[in-house]
Structure 1
Amino acid sequence: MDRGVSTVDARIAESANGWRLDRALADAVPTLSRERIKALIAGGKVSNAAGNTVRDPSAKAMAGMAFAIEIPLPEPAHNEAQDIPLEIAFEDEHLIVIDKPAGLVVHPAAGNADGTLVNALLHHCGGSLSGIGGVARPGIVHRIDKDTSGLMVAAKTDRAHEGLARQFAAHSIDRRYRAIVGGHPAPPAGTVDAPLARSPANRKKIAIVAGGKRAVTHYRTIEPLLGAALVECRLETGRTHQVRVHMASIGHALLGDPVYGRPKEAQRILLKRLDFHRQALHAAHLGFHHPITSATLAFDSKMPADMQELFSSLVV
């Protein structure tokens, strides 16, 4: 194999039967976007089980079909290793679990060229991070919003990255968030199953859109509060802004959410008094099987001080 290439094996899922090949492969390999898959197909980097190069991204995919995707290894990252303190919940030679503070961007992007979790990981891991995410996102298997706090896992090797990505694709990762929402959900527990996509009206927002990606959030009220509630949200899928949009859609937006929230006047005054300017959302639990050893791993994180202060101010 070309030493400058990493090969990922992919199999078309039953649920993707009949889809376009680029869409089905992006579903099978969630670390690669559909556009990246399309470019790799166009570049002759995708072959079927018989070893024949596939050239048509719109070809019909059939369940069970196997493909090999050659991914050029990323050029040396231009991201700068920066000595940014990290709270580490677990680490071995394959992966690292971080308890991310609110305000820390996960990877460099427009407007955030450095000072990100990736910069911190490059410093802490000495450059030992998986390359599947590409130059801008070494080691990143999934992400949480800048102003959401809590647990996330990053991969140090491509093998660990692929193993974790398979678990995310199979929805077998146990991810539970703590959220402080406006009002008291009724019923106090339930499921929101509503597809998400970029809002046609505002491309900076995510919305419930027919034909969007399936998104499922299971919620339960942990404690009713004064005009609010502490809620646990368990993610079956992991779409951008999923908890924020789903809870807002049932009339219980997260307190402090600058995009989807509509706090009542008393809540607005409280948020201003506490200087709380982010969505009240914390990734409190993360559970998965170690992609190399198969050991069951589970981690819990307490609500950070700012969210705990908000909670305490609303206790009845």
Structure 2
Amino acid sequence: MILTIDENSEDLRLDSYLSELYEGISRSKIQTAIKKGKVLVNGTEKKPSYTLKDGDKIEFEDLVEESILKVEPENIPLEVIWEDENMAVINKPSGMLSHPTFIETSGTLVNALLYKYGQNLSDINGEFRRGIVHRLDRNTSGLLMIAKNNKTHEYLANIIKEHTLTKKYHAILVGNYPRDNDVITDPIGRNNLNPKKMAVRPDGRPSVTKLKVIERFGNDATYVELTLVTGRTHQIRVHTSNKRHPVYNDTLYGAGQGKVKTQEQVLQSFYLKFAKPFSAQIIELELKPDEKLEKVLNYFRNRRV
């Protein structure tokens, strides 16, 4: 198996990366495999403590039974917002994983994509991430780009890296955000206490989120639009939490469950603007607020009447 490291996995230790990938397999077993030369980075052996870099290619022997690794197509309904011969944009629902893990191999977006598109999906990031160029957290809904071939995958990965793709989100934040417009520039890196979380830290990577207030609900909540200038893992959730206004119901980043119960964070990727692959045509896509957003917005608006 060969996987290419992107900026979301950069700065992780090699053994930590594989531990996340092979969730459920002990760290010591993974470290032993690395020390025995069963894991190569850019064709050479590395220590378990090696820090991954964007673009690194990880080649390794399977650490679990082959039968567990197989990802099956599943007839799961997909809402395709736009597509051509090279790519598609899907409206991923909240609660769906973007791609399988070694613990969950069914019910993901990739299972649905394999059923709909078969082998007409990029495989640059391995079988578990067929077609996946960028990800949305399980409980974040919205627009997600899918590559149908490797050339398009590279094109889309490049416009993400060069920040020529416009991505906007809607969110409800806890409390009354103090500024109508803000640019949050806190650097983001791995959380030292929990490698599955991110945190604002002085030695983190440059991270920029633009925030605009849409509607205020007193001291209870604020409805906002957020534009990602950079695309770090959990960027919006980390930035808003660090400002002491976490995304509503985002229990991982300190919000707690609010009075309106939802499936974790009330966050939607609602807008994409990009140049169509290998064309000068500009594609602009926008979604209406999803079920979670509508539920929480209606609650606060009705309280105000």
- 1:225 maps to what in 2? 217
Post-superposition Cα deviations, 1:113-134, rounded to whole Å, max 9, x if no partner, equal 2110001001111221011111
Which of 200, 205, 212 is the aligned partner of 2:204? 212
CA distance in 1, matches of 2:150, 2:58: 11
| CA deviation vs aligned residue, 1:123-156 (integer Å, no higher than 9, x gap) | 1112210111112111111000000010010100
Secondary structure at the counterpart of residue 252 of structure 2 = coil
Partner of 1:202: 194
**What is aligned with 1:294?**
280
Structure 1 residue 110: Cα displacement: 3.8
Cα gap change, 1:247/1:313 in structure 2, threshold over 3 Å: closer, same or farther? same
Corresponding residue pairs, total? 263
Contact 2:209 2:226 in 1 (8 A): yes
Using the alignment, how far apart are the partners of 2:154 and 2:121 within structure 1?
13
1:70 offset after TM fit, Å? Answer: 9.0
Partner secondary structure for residue 136 of structure 1: helix
SS of structure 2 residue aligned to 1:204: coil
- 8 Å CA contact 2:8–2:232 kept in 1: the answer is no
Asked whether 1:307 is paired with 2:260, we answer no
User: Matched residues in 2 for 1:276 and 1:30: separation?
Assistant: 30
Note if contact 1:31-1:165 (Cα within 8 Å) is conserved in structure 2: no
Amino acid at match of 1:42: T
Q: Percent identity?
A: 33
Partner Cα separation in structure 1 for residue 109 and residue 235 of structure 2: 21
> Which AA in structure 2 matches 1:277?
Q
Q: CA RMSD in A?
A: 3.1
The letter of the residue matching 1:297 is I
Match of 1:256 among 224, 249, 261: 249
Rounded Cα–Cα distance in structure 2 between residues aligned with 1:69 and 1:276: 38
Gaps of 5+ in 2: 18-38
Partner of 2:122: 130
Q: What is the TM-score normalised by the length of structure 1?
A: 0.75
Map 1:106-185; keep pairs closer than 5 Å: 106-185=98-177
Structure 1 pair 42–32 and aligned structure 2 pair: CA distance change class (3 A): farther
Contact 1:118 1:137 in 2 (8 A): yes
1:3-22 paired onto structure 2 within 5 Å: none
**Cα distance change of structure 1 residues 78 and 117 upon mapping to structure 2, 3 Å threshold:** same
Deviations 1:8-52 (A, max 9, x none): 9xxxxxxxxxxxxxxxxx6xx759967699712428xxxxxxxxx
* Deviation of 1:91 (Å): 1.3
Match for 2:173: what amino acid? V
Contact (CA 8 Å) 1:258, 1:278: kept in 2 or not?
yes
TM-score, normalised to structure 2, is: 0.77
Cα distance in 2 for partners of 1:289, 1:312 equals: 35
Match of 1:47 in 2: none
